[in-house]
Chain A
Amino acid sequence: MNIVVLVKQVPDTWAEKKLDPSDSTVDRASVDAVMNEMDEYAVEEALKIKEAHGGEVTVLTMGPNRAVEMLRKALSMGVDKAVHLVDDALEGSCAIQSSYALAQAIGTLSYDLVLLSAESSDARMGVMPALLAERLGVPQLSDARKVDVDGSKVVIERMTDYGHDKVEASTPLVLGVVEKINEPRYPSFKGIMAAKKKPLTTLTAADAGIDTGRVGLATATSSVESFTAAPPRAAGQVVKDEGDGGVKLADFFAAQKLI
């Protein structure tokens, strides 16, 4: 089973994030860049499938030069090879454009599974699994909290508000996984040393056959018109329990139209 895992470098989840006033994109220069935390679950799931069923795991990202650090991390976790789609023309691409570019890059690789996490911690749109499945013309298994692979059949437990659905499809397919599906491994020192010897390929937009008129900030399908800083959190209301705390809380929630 050959697996392509999509990963994205995002501003450190723990850091204070800002928007760049000049073009309303995330100011990525001022904070540390890390692998989107949920992507670590996707990488781990791919490695577990590979360990159980064989095959090869390729990690793919679209991002600036510094994204190489993140690819090395994936390689040090045990991924076999990395592909880096990097081109100035891609900067500022919206989700729809990114799905086009990524689908083109995936097209240069052979895969049974395209594995990715449900969302990234910076954009938080959660649409990429669906967009990619459509672009690639393959089934989509999304929001998986458990994955079973049996030959070319993949069965997942899809997380829902009420529990889970059991969904199955045959490869090739796009598989989106949710957080906590597994416990991502830490790279071992051996893994770190081995990572630098593994293949890391760079693709330009042209290499992937991407029409540069269809990507980038200028032709993005969505844009940020304006933004303001979030207002500071207002002081909370203290409900003192004088034997009637429950009633007071209920009144408070009712006033907020929460119940």
Chain B
Amino acid sequence: MLAAAFGEEEFGVLDFRLSDEQEMLRKTVEHFARTVVAPQAEELDEKEEFPYDIVRQMGEMGLFGLPFPEEYGGMGGDYFALCLAIEELARADSSVAITLEAGVSLGAMPVYRFGTEEQRREWLPRLTSGETLGAFGLTEPGGGSDAGATRTRAVLADGHWLINGSKAFITNSGTDITRLVTVTAVTGEKANGAKEISSILIPVPCEGFRVSSKPSKVGWHASDTRDLAFEDITVPAENLLGERGRGYANFLSILDEGRIAISALAVGLAQACVDESLRYAKDRQAFGKPIGEYQAIAFKIADMELRAHTARLAYYAAADRMLRGEPFKKQAAIAKLYSSESAVTNAREATQVHGGYGFMNEYPVARHWRDSKILEIGEGTSEVQRMLIARELGI
């Protein structure tokens, strides 16, 4: 995207336009989201049903394969293409968007980044087609941001890992098409006494793999979130993903990318709040004219657009640096932080614009309001993002 335009002229050109292909992808997903996803969103939310049929269609469109090379069944696109798709899906339904986001950046990406050639060939074609889903288990009941508090253990004996422990809030881990759960586990002790944490691939379902029932969530109702328990699960030694002892470090790098994708998701939700408010403000009459003609409402919507637009620029900029291979930790944290807080604010304001109807689940803004809060928590809380930004500034 942005990178291509730089250096074409002597002084350099700053170009934030999408290429024809990026725009066509965006429009294709926008159309799909508007005509296929949006009409089902309310029902899926109410019934808390996983959107199997939508996932199948997204698979056919190649969305799960966007950032992967064709040799692994991917589409040969990049991470920014994935972000564009996630943003457009989130304009219709956050649950669908997070299913794609987690399926790609937590399910398939770790295998692509850290897997051996054999592991890639075994797993990626199935994951990039959307035929099956992968999940990543990091968070445990006793620790989220504090990943060092990992209690799940994996012991290597006779060429096999014996895994015991539990994980919490794991997206896509309990669907009918989930076939892979990658977990972080303590595999020993480092020389300095710290825990040695490694990632291990668990093909599921398997003996000793227990999935909780669906928890009752505030939002993201159609997304699959489960708690997992591992009781003496045995997998071959070669299921180690990446280097032994690098499990946590590897995961952190995956998390940096994931923040850009979550930012795109938050931008989609923030934009959806503008879309819905605009429609309602033009239509709803009070005291003889549409409420959008009152400054109190018009300014609210202008501020919502301001946040959505600025947040979008933030994730574009972070993605641009990432794709150029430049450090992007700070930019990703800024994008994630700003866009998730914008999403929450926009959802609150959109509900306000809708008045009493905004509190009714039949209006999409009510769903957006419930779906927004998690964005300030998942993939690193807002506090963690501030910590990262401050650290990058050297304080």
Contacts and interface: CB of A to CB of B under 8 A. Distances in A.
A189 B81 contact: yes
B58 to A, nearest CB: 9
Contact of A72 (B20, B61, B65): B20
A126 interface: no
Interface string B29-69: 00110100000000000000000000001001111011000
A188 B20 contact: no
A198 to B, nearest CB: 13
Contacts of B21: 192-193, 196
Interface string B124-146: 00000000000000000000000
Interface in A189-203: 189-190, 192-193, 195-196
A189 B25 contact: yes
| Chain B interface SS verdict (over half) | helix
B275 to A, nearest CB: 12
Interface residues of B, number: 20
A192 B61 contact: no
A195 B19 CA distance: 14
A73 B27 CA distance: 10
B76 interface: yes
A65 to B, nearest CB: 14
A188 B24 contact: no
Contacts of B34: 14
| Chain A interface SS verdict (over half) | helix
A193 B63 CA distance: 14
A187 B24 contact: yes
A196 B70 CA distance: 18
Given A73-B24, A196-B21, A188 B32 contact: no
B81 A188 contact: no
Contacts of A252: none
Contact of A192 (B25, B32, B60, B70): B25
Nearest to B31: A186
A198 B177 CA distance: 36
B76 A193 contact: yes
A76 interface: yes
B32 A189 contact: no
A210 B32 CA distance: 38
Interface centre among B24, B62, B75 (most CB of A within 10 A): B24
Contacts of A190: 62, 70, 75-76
B62 A189 contact: yes
A14 B66 CA distance: 28
Contacts of B76: 189-190, 193
B236 interface: no
Nearest to A183: B57
Nearest to A189: B75
Contact of B75 (A14, A72, A188, A196): A188
Contact of B61 (A14, A69, A188): A188
Interface in A168-216: 185-190, 192-193, 195-196
B394 to A, nearest CB: 40
B188 interface: no
Contacts of B66: 189
Interface string B73-84: 001110001000
A223 to B, nearest CB: 33
Contacts of A196: 20-21
A195 B28 CA distance: 14
B28 A187 contact: yes
B60 A72 contact: no
Contacts of A14: 34
Contacts of A69: 24
Interface in B231-257: none
B62 A72 contact: no
A189 B21 CA distance: 9
Interface in A1-28: 14
Nearest to A191: B62
Contacts of B25: 189, 192
A180 to B, nearest CB: 14
Contact of B77 (A72, A186, A187, A189): A189
A188 B77 contact: no
Given A189-B66, A189-B75, A193-B76, A76 B24 contact: yes
A249 to B, nearest CB: 26
A72 B60 CA distance: 19
A73 B31 CA distance: 12
Nearest to A14: B34
Contacts of A76: 24, 28
Nearest to B82: A189
B77 to A, nearest CB: 5
B28 A186 contact: yes
Contacts of B70: 190
Interface of A: 14, 69, 72-73, 76, 185-190, 192-193, 195-196
Closest 3 CB pairs between A and B?
A189-B75, A188-B62, A189-B62
19 contacts: A69-B24, A72-B24, A73-B28, A76-B28, A186-B28, A186-B60, A187-B61, A188-B60, A188-B75, A189-B63, A189-B66, A189-B75, A190-B75, A190-B76, A192-B24, A192-B28, A193-B21, A193-B77, A196-B20
Interface of B: 20-21, 24-25, 28, 31-32, 34, 57, 60-63, 65-66, 70, 75-77, 81
